[in-house]
Structure 1
Amino acid sequence: MAEPVLIWGAGAIGGILGAYWARAGVHVLMVDIVPDHVTACATAGLSIEGPVEEFVQVVPCVTPDKLEGTYSRIVLAVKAQATSAALSQLAPHLAEDGFVLSAQNGLNEHVIAQHVGTERTMGAFVNYGADWLGPGRILFGNRGAVVVGEIDGTTRTRTTEMHGLLQIFEPEAVLTPDIWAYLWGKLGYGAMLFATALTPDSMTRNFADPARGPALIGLAREVMRIAVAEGVDPKPFNGFEPAAFLPGASDDGAHQSLADLATFNSKTAKTHTGIYRDLAVRKRKTEVDPQVGAVAAIARKHGIETPLLDRLVILIHDIEEGRREMSVDTFHELTKVLK
């Protein structure tokens, strides 16, 4: 039997990949820290629910303390803030000729490379909609862009093989020589998604509200300015058009991108972001620091001011720590920054 693909983190992203690969006959082993979820996946099976497709698939799954052996292919699918801790646990299980692929939000490839080396790090961009509903249950709300590529811009045998695996799940998956372009595009979109989580409203309602448009556009413009300073040319996906938010771009293009994002998100069963679920449902810390905060830190290295991103981080922390409620008024604390 072929060596399994090890998926570290069996939640919304990793769980769906594991279920699809296992159903296709790929040898998969998942690792997760929630014992009840581990047991459900390995016994009764992982239930993929929602409008895209529904099925139940048994997927071998263990807790980190039960994992044995080494693996050449490890997909890391944990929250960004858990990256370093997960890497410390998985490093002994990474084969000498192996690699870690980041199926996460943010620029975690940098963190992974610091732990295991640049040569053993691969990047991926995922934008499909999914939520962990409970032990053994994941909502697959909508299909979205999936991209994979080496962080040094090369294409190797392993890159092509991982692209083939991702096509099992998403036939339109892209193999790119410029993964950073997609990751920075997602950071621009992601900043706006964090802003939508300041309210209890759906993503679509946020993107469609003209009063919220200026702050959403301002956030994306701050991120795109930083991307340009980093020498990155962000790529479009699923309604997000980076060129519309680049320095000198017209307001018309930015408003059209917001309208396209409202349309894209109106077609999913995942009406709210994972950020919203962290705040309102799971009552836990979000990824705001390793995503939005990390981008603002890069901006400071270039001497770029980021008043909207900085305020967004503060507002998310306020909600996390109970100082503010999720509301339209909280959202418009961002709008005030523009005045």
Structure 2
Amino acid sequence: MKVAVMGAGAVGCYYGGMLARAGHEVVLIARPQHVEAIARDGLRMETRSFDEHVRLAASSEPSAVQGAQLVLFCVKSTDTESAGAQIRPHLPADALVLCLQNGVDNADRLRAVLPETAVAAAVVYVATEMAGPGHVKHHGRGELVIEPSSTSEAVAQALIAAGVPTEVSGNVRGALWAKLILNCAYNAVSAIAQLPYGKTVQGVGVKDVMRDVVAECLAVAKAEGVQVPGDAVAAVDKLADSMPNQYSSTAQDLARGKRSEIDYLNGLVVKRGEALGIATPANRVLWALVKLMESRPASVWLQGAAHRAVTAA
């Protein structure tokens, strides 16, 4: 299978690398510094079970999706429409675009940009980070839950054979909300504190704040008619134990002086709560604080990162 990864950051590099390692023809569409490192040395995959360099193609051009049967769409939620428009002229008629993104509405937004292409939502449960140019570090998990489509079963089997646990589910909307709830509970708090999950939950009153966030999310989801599977409260309680050293993607974005996806996480809950007449004060405070922190100059974050590195050393 020919696979293209649009927006090959930590998530895209992990799943693209797993497919390439299993023998599929993969091209990563990434930032130039990653493309250069991958062209020179291959993609370094540092996981819990192996650490090796995987040879695969890399490009910084959206046109590299040409000929791909499967496109893993991994850009930030803030870039969904613009990245979709970039790849649209180059997509084969029979391609499946699989959204491996945070948030609950990316697939719908992408379908509006790609009306003639099959688009399927996916829920991603993986802890990864880019540890350097062309170097993805895997901290844990890696499961995918994907939406049914004409080719979803075949794609799922290819992913399973590549070592990626994958399920095709008719309730991906509910699963996306379950993941959103995890993100709303952890992402902003980890970002504000610049601490990993394990240390974040040790803060005084933090678990109570998280439970307030979860209760608001569940109230909004119920009003939306969404059936959230499983026990959201228990899932939030367990996450820090399963990924104690993981920083949230929002924390990583702020540490790099980048705009985060908070508008599509806590901000989405606030927006939908307003439309439905449901109060969401805990989500609103976290959303507002992260937005305020996004306005800080990148140099402030870089100084903080340097200080943390020295302290850790």
> The TM-score by the shorter chain falls in which range?
0.7 to 0.9
Look up the match of 2:95. 98
Cα distance in 2 for residues equivalent to 1:102 and 1:84? 12
- Tell whether 2:139 aligns with 1:167: no
Q: 2:22 aligns with which of 9, 21, 24?
A: 24
CA distance in 2, matches of 1:29, 1:73: 11
Paired residue secondary structure (1:201): coil
For residues 301-332 of structure 1, give each alpha carbon's deviation from its aligned partner in whole angstroms, at most 9, with x where no partner exists: 22222122222111001112129x99xxxxxx
Amino acid at match of 1:122: A
- Residue of structure 1 equivalent to 2:66: 69
For structure 1, which segment, 64-73 or 130-139, has the greater mean C-alpha deviation from structure 2 after superposition? 64-73
Aligned to 2:36: 39
> 1:275: which partner in 2?
250
The gaps in structure 1 that reach 5 residues or longer are 151-155, 245-255, 327-339
Cα 1:92/1:230, change in 2 over 3 Å: same
| Residue in 2 that maps onto 1:252 | none
Paired amino acid for 2:153: T
Contact 2:27/2:58 (8 A) holds in 1: yes
Identity %: 24
Which of 190, 194, 205 lines up with 1:200 in the alignment?
Answer: 194
Once residues 322 and 51 of structure 1 are traced to their aligned partners in structure 2, the CA distance between those partners, rounded to angstroms, is: 35
The answer (yes or no) to whether the contact 2:4–2:65 under 8 Å persists in 1 is: no
Out of 30, 34, 46, the position equivalent to 1:49 is: 46
Give the residue type in structure 1 aligned to 2:285. R
Equivalence for 2:283 = 309
**Residue 222 in 1 paired to residue 197 in 2?**
no
How far does residue 198 in structure 1 lie from its aligned partner after superposition?
Answer: 1.3
Aligned to 1:265: 243
Give the deviation of 1:271 after TM superposition. 2.8
Distance 1:26 1:60 in 2: 11
Say whether residues 1:180 and 2:173 are aligned partners: yes
Q: Label 1:68 to 1:315 Cα distance change in 2 as closer, same or farther (>3 A).
A: closer
SS in 1 for 2:242: helix
Secondary structure at 1:48 match in 2 = strand
Aligned to 2:79: 82
Q: Distance in 2 between matches of 1:322 and 1:68?
A: 36
CA RMSD in angstroms comes to 2.2
Shift of 1:64: 1.5
TM-score w.r.t. length of structure 2:
0.87
Structure 2: 5+ residue stretches without partners? 302-313
Say how many residue pairs are matched.
297
The Cα offsets for residues 127-180 of structure 1, whole Å up to 9 and x where unpaired, read as 111001221111111124321113xxxxx4401012112213445322211111
Is 1:8–1:30's contact at 8 Å kept on the other side of the alignment? yes
The aligned counterpart of 2:304 is: none
CA contact 2:94–2:117 (8 Å) conserved in 1: no
Q: Is the 8 A contact 1:52 1:140 kept in 2?
A: no
Structure 1 equivalent of residue 267 of structure 2: 293
Q: Judging changes above 3 Å, is the alpha-carbon distance between structure 1 residues 68 and 172 closer, same or farther for their aligned structure 2 residues?
A: closer
TM-score, normalised relative to structure 1: 0.81
Q: Go from structure 1 to structure 2 and tell me whether the alpha carbon gap of 1:65 and 1:262 turns closer, same or farther (over 3 Å shift).
A: closer
Distance 1:192 1:183, change over 3 A: same
